[in-house]
Structure 1
Amino acid sequence: MATTSHRALQLLSLLGTGRTWPLRDLAAKLEVSERTARRDLDTLRELGYPVATVRGPHGGYRLGTGHTLPPLLFDHEQALAIAIALQTAPRSVYGLQDGTARALVTVQQAMPATLRAAMESLRLTRLRNYWEFPGPPIDPAALTTVGTAVRLHHILTAEVLRPDGTRIAPDKADFAAPHRLEPHHLVVWTGRWYLIAYDLNDQCWRVDRVDRLHPRPTGRAFTPRELPGGDLAHFVMTSPDRGDTPAADWPCTGSARLNLPAQVVAHWAPGGSVVEHLDPHHSRLTLGAWSWAGVAGILATFDTDLTDLHPPALTQACQQIAHRYTTLQPTPPPT
């Protein structure tokens, strides 16, 4: 009975996507025979769910209108948490991408319009990254403000904060007037949230970390512009003024120049590290770890020449690892 109940819930989740499912596809998803899948469909009908049969060569089964599901009671912060968690779930787990997409659709369908709008505000572009280290904390209110402005094409005014997240007083030497920004895209890369915007003050494109901004909405609309080059990933990775620092306070933090382009290094770099574009064939990677050997070990995974290492302790760790490996003796084959 538990297996049947589990299949019924899974079947309801599949039908809740709104598409029409051929019987063979449902059976394959549930990993049962077509006869069992048809019996599970009848079970849903007995429970009061309007499972409709669609005739024809492209027919199958879908969930009809008028069904009632238990209400989902989420406050604003819970809705944001769901949107962020589902959209930034690690892609390195096999099969998770399809499940998170279906879950996001299911949750959105059950939400009131106001919360659905909040979730839509955070529909973002996520650049692929294979290491999942936590990024810096971010204010949900700032994220909501920026996401809504991107979705509605509304101008923002934003102060640039210090690296520790504090605002700069007007009487301080490093104070700068708030920028008027046309926000175009939200991007998640290496564990950080970035805003791609056109700066109306300086008449140029810029990339800012959202956790380094204090944004305020204006309600004034703008006409979207074409991003130079049209490539979000390349634009973020090659923008030198993103305000990046290593995300965590590691015991050891070092950097090296790699004979690889920034887009290749960023594809494999640990989340929270800093990738600098130097030229089309070289980049600088700054990262942290629990030991200098750990930093050296991550750099070695790029399988390329390293130069200009900092600090000297990192160079020593690389040399010690190299010496350790050169003294290894092959294991004799078993007799």
Structure 2
Amino acid sequence: MSTSARMLRLLSLLQTHRYWPGEELAQRLEVSGRTLRRDIDRLRELGYAVDASRGVAGGYQLRAGGSLPPLLLEDEEAVAIAVGLQQAANGSVGGMEETSVQALTKVIALMPPRLRRQMDALRSQTDNLVWGGGPHIDPAILTTLAQACRDDEPLHLTYTARGAEPTERWVEPHRLVSLGRRWYLVAYDRDRQDWRSFRVDRIASPRTTGHRYRPRELPADDALAFVQAGIRRIPQRYDVRVRVAADPAVVARAVGRWGDVTPYEQGCLLAMSVDDLQWPVMVLAQLGADFTVESPVELVDLVSEVSARFARAGVA
């Protein structure tokens, strides 16, 4: 491997891990410790702030510097960043819309032609639906939580649960989950000695400790499944029951994990527990099938109101 190729490989490794033991880093690059130290010095000359710790367990860590040096991205990573910026421009993170558009423009402009064509195809063939009614998230809080998840750092935060007073929490952050316009932090709550999902818009003053913890095993298939299971256990305002004249499999795909679908006569019975009736109305509208609302009466009224509004809009 040439020196230039090895330098790029070294930079790529440093950007993916907060801390690399020197011996492991040298093995990855198939070089001696002396050669690794010279390569680290070259990176420092290029403006990358690389901290080193000495001793048997010594290693290297890429530190934030006074300015942002060039980033080394794989093709898939560049596309992922562009897609994320595109979603952020329409998303729920407060104050990020304009800056996301500006950053997206820069990223696409620097992409090689093959990746730019991929992004152009993605943008031209995708319709974005901006979900309304959701809370806005402080970008600084979201960034702090994401970094703590990545680095396995305990967090101290203030959390205000629904209908409760603010409480101080010590948690071990595991993963961030985005559902529609809401974000959740899946973490192990040290005080309650159990796993919890925290609404990010209800988190204040998150603070990292600089220490690390040994990750625990999440009692679910993944963080998304854990959050969804927790939400479904929360008592909701409305119990929705609708008979739908459609294939149960089609309805199940439309509602996902947010409802139960049972075969019923020439269709199926859709059951959901929700706080907001807008969601079942949207599901029913996209199915394009006849349906009968059994409960609640508020959903009957809302469907009638929406139907009348669309009927008026269609009159020339």
Higher helix share: 2
Q: TM-score, normalised by structure 2?
A: 0.44
Instruction: Pick 1 or 2: higher relative contact order, CA cutoff 8 A, min separation 6.
Output: 1
Q: TM-score, normalised by structure 1?
A: 0.42
